[in-house]
């Protein structure tokens, strides 16, 4: 491999004669800097014309080569510059000491020009190879990061598109998915230190929960319009059909899972939420009559978020309810409809819930 002609070499030696000999040897091939002491060498090594390689004499008055090498390795800008020791010390332990402290190579004096040129060329080739590898790794990391960002964005847009598709069947729900997503994320974040939830509500879980929450009512695409949009009270038969949207949603997500080779964690949570967000703490909910902790945490959080938003929103069968009235209904459902600890957190952070409702409101703020 050819070494770039613009490589810079710093020669450090207290002997003017040695400096002259090495400079004359290397100058035809490289840019050369020279220093007659360790102090000057450190200034040059940390300067703008940073050397690609340092030839460093070991035996110098004041700061010897070992001390200079130690200082180079301490500097953020100089720690990676390869150093070749030049020394008249010929004992094996001297060479071992230099290599142990981080020298890249060791050349004994008196020097042999052919050896010096070969060792310098080898080290500069190593520098170039390392530089190319680091650049390649940086490019690969940037490409991976870009792909991950694109995949994440595609996933989020796809989820949002599916959720909006479900909402086209029920146009009055408006920003319901944005509000419930915000409520769930806020509740989960507030509960993550709670003893009952800490093991579940990691940062990763909360991110997946927020991502999957918009799919909670995806099953409504399977409910006939005359039931879904009915302005009056549903008959028992109609209500039974309406309740099937929970199973329809989870089945649709499960079928989507079967079409991919690698399971996606957010789909598992989306399936939980779609299937069980209408279950009640006392076991009187649907579709499976689960009770208490048998209901997944994700579905328990969505239950509070979904009911609160339904209460404060306009529907074909009812007007919007004032925030405080909705608050009282959620509070009254503690321990019967809802997980008591989730309701307690909801009440403690009620102002943040209403702030989300205001941020994504479909209408003027309700009476507070």
Residue 251 sits in the same domain as residue 304: yes
The boundaries of the domain holding residue 228 are 168-359
Residue 222: count other Cβ atoms within 10 Å of its Cβ.
17
Does the predicted model carry a pTM greater than 0.85? no
Structural domain includes residue 364? no
Residue 228 sits in the same domain as residue 353: yes
- Give the phi and the psi of residue 86 in degrees, each rounded to 5: -115, 120
Cross-strand partners of 35: 12
Residue 103 sits in the same domain as residue 241: no
Name the least confident of 62-66, 124-128, 226-230, 257-261.
257-261
| Residue 124 belongs to domain with CATH number | 3.40.50.2300
The answer to whether residue 332 scores a pLDDT higher than 60 is: yes
pLDDT of residue 309: 95
Residue 58 sits in the same domain as residue 184: no
Higher pLDDT, 106 or 284: 284
Question: 172: pLDDT confidence band, cut at 50, 70 and 90?
Answer: low
Question: 238: pLDDT confidence band, cut at 50, 70 and 90?
Answer: very high
Residue 73 sits in the same domain as residue 208: no
Q: What percent of the chain has pLDDT over 90?
A: 55
Contact between 47 and 38 under an 8 Å Cβ cutoff? The reply is: no
Residue 118 sits in the same domain as residue 188: no
Contact between 53 and 10 under an 8 Å Cβ cutoff? The reply is: yes
Q: How many domains would you assign to the chain?
A: 2
Q: Is 170 helix (H, G, I), strand (E, B) or coil?
A: coil
Higher pLDDT, 48 or 285: 285
Residue 236 sits in the same domain as residue 112: no
Closest CA to 55 of 96, 98, 100: 98
Contact between 168 and 323 under an 8 Å Cβ cutoff? The reply is: no
Q: What percent of the chain has pLDDT over 70?
A: 88
Question: 11: pLDDT confidence band, cut at 50, 70 and 90?
Answer: very high
DSSP state of 134: H
Structural domain includes residue 161? no
- Beta strand 53-57 with 83-87: parallel, antiparallel or unpaired? parallel
Alpha helices in the chain, H assignment, sequence order: 16-26, 38-45, 65-74, 92-100, 113-167, 176-191, 203-212, 225-228, 236-243, 245-258, 265-276, 297-312, 323-332, 340-348, 350-359
Higher pLDDT, 311 or 167: 311
CA angle 161, 212, 309 (to 5 degrees): 85
Residue 192 sits in the same domain as residue 338: yes
Instruction: For residue 330, give every residue at least 6 positions away whose Cβ sits within 8 Å of its Cβ, in sequence order, or none.
Output: 304, 307, 308, 311, 338, 343, 346, 347
User: Which of 38-52, 85-99, 130-144, 285-299 is the most confident on average?
Assistant: 285-299
pLDDT of residue 165: 64
Residue 236 sits in the same domain as residue 353: yes
pLDDT of residue 2: 45
Higher pLDDT, 130 or 179: 179
Residue 210 sits in the same domain as residue 351: yes
């Amino acid at each position: 491999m050819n070494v770039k002609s613009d490589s810079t070499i710093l020669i450090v030696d207290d002997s003017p004669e040695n400096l002259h000999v090495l400079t004359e040897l290397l100058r035809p091939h490289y840019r050369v800097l020279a220093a007659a002491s360790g102090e000057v060498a450190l200034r040059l090594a940390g300067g703008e014309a940073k050397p690609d390689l340092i030839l460093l004499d070991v035996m110098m008055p004041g700061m010897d080569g070992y001390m200079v090498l130690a200082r180079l390795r301490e500097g953020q800008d100089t720690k990676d510059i390869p150093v070749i020791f030049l020394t008249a010390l010929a004992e094996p332990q001297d060479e071992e000491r230099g290599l142990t402290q981080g020298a890249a190579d060791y050349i004994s004096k008196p020097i042999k020009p052919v050896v010096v040129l070969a060792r310098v060329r080898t080290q500069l080739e190593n520098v170039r190879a390392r530089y190319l590898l680091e650049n390649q790794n940086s490019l690969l990391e940037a490409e991976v990061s870009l792909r991950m960002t694109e995949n994440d964005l595609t996933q989020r847009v796809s989820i949002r598109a599916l959720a909006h598709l479900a909402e086209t069947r029920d146009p009055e729900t408006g920003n319901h998915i944005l509000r419930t997503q915000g409520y769930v994320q806020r509740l989960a974040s507030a509960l993550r230190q709670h003893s009952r939830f800490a093991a579940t509500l990691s940062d990763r879980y909360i991110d997946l929960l927020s991502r999957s929450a918009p799919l909670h009512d995806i099953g409504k695409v399977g409910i006939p319009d005359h039931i879904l949009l009915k302005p009056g009270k549903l008959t028992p038969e109609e209500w039974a059909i309406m309740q099937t949207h929970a199973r329809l949603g989870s089945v649709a997500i499960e079928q989507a899972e079967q079409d991919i080779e690698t399971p996606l964690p957010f789909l598992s949570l989306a399936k939980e939420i779609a299937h069980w967000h209408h279950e009640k703490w006392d076991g009187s909910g649907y579709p499976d009559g689960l009770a208490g902790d048998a209901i997944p945490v994700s579905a328990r959080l969505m239950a509070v978020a979904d009911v609160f938003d339904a209460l404060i929103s306009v529907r074909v069968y009812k007007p919007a309810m004032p925030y405080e009235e909705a608050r009282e209904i959620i509070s009254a459902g503690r321990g019967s409809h809802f997980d008591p600890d989730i309701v307690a957190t909801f009440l403690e952070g009620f102002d943040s819930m209403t702030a989300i409702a205001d941020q994504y409101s479909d209408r003027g703020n309700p009476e507070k």
